[in-house]
A = this chain, B = another copy of it.
Amino acid sequence: MTRLLDPLLRDVNELILRMGGACEAILAKALRAVQQRDAELACQVAQDDLEIDRLDIEVDEAVLRAIALQAPVAGDLRRILAVKSIAVDLERVGDLARNIAKSAERLAAREPVPLPSRLESLAEEVQSMLRESLDAFVARDAERAGALLRRDDEVDLDEDRLIEAALGEIAAHPAISAQEVDLILIAKNLERVADHATNIAEDVILVVEGRNVKHAEKLARTAG
């Protein structure tokens, strides 16, 4: 099934892996800037994100080149477009890391507040989901990708709990409300990184099995 696909996608795949690595690094840096209250580190994130934007443009070109050179048939074409769609998700992860870095900058400029342990564990879980989605892509492992889809609901719950806790902190200590709002925004941004990891997992399933599971759960939930 991947015989035809392999030469076609080599360039694109390599670019995706570079993008994925850059996204993991930028996200880790943004979160480190939050933890260490390091405004300088936070500033680097916007710069690093430009490299991801450049890779995104390169993916666009490589996809066009692959299609033009190989004139792939429907199944392969579907797979190439799925790979392109992974690049779209990774580009957004870069943007989200930039948002987190902006919160880090603001947090570093204000009175320090303790970071909730739940935020730390949410950050770890989301980084692990992103890594796992990229590993599933490298391994072309639809089963691993499928396992990821089930982790997103837990992240949503964790985000809700974090927001509730932050609202409680604001009510009790209005003086630190600006910081708590940034913690809420960081949680929101992390939750969206998990959404993109989920999208990538869906695209991996499409690449490997040719099965489109996009929106499947949401649509099934209402049909049932």
Task: For chain A, residues 46 to 73, give those with C-beta under 8 angstroms from any C-beta of chain B.
Answer: 47, 50, 53-54, 56-57, 60, 63-64, 67-68, 71, 73
- A174 CB–B CB distance under 8 Å: yes
The contact of A84 among B71, B81, B163, by CB within 8 Å, is B81
- A219 CB–B CB distance under 8 Å: yes
Pair A167/B181 contact, Cβ less than 8 Å:
yes
The contact of A167 among B47, B167, B177, by CB within 8 Å, is B177
**With A and B bound together, what is the CA distance between A62 and B117 in angstroms?**
46
Pair B74/A68 contact, Cβ less than 8 Å:
yes
Pair A215/B57 contact, Cβ less than 8 Å:
yes
Contacts of A185 in B (CB 8 A): 184, 188
Pair B174/A177 contact, Cβ less than 8 Å:
yes
Contacts of A184 in B (CB 8 A): 181, 185
The number of chain A residues with a CB under 8 A from chain B is 39
Would you call the interface of chain A mostly helix, strand, loop, or mixed? helix
The contact of A57 among B53, B63, B212, by CB within 8 Å, is B212
Pair A74/B78 contact, Cβ less than 8 Å:
no
Pair B60/A212 contact, Cβ less than 8 Å:
yes
| B-contact 0/1 string along A191-217, CB 8 Å cutoff | 000000000000000000000101100
Chain A residues proximal to chain B, CB less than 8 Å: 47, 50, 53-54, 56-57, 60, 63-64, 67-68, 71, 73-74, 77-78, 81, 84-85, 88, 163, 166-167, 170-171, 174-175, 177-178, 181, 184-185, 188, 212, 214-215, 218-219, 222
Q: Knowing that A60-B214, A170-B181 are A-B contacts, what are 5 other residue pairs whose CB atoms are under 8 Å apart, sorted by A's residue number?
A: A50-B218, A53-B219, A64-B78, A170-B177, A171-B175
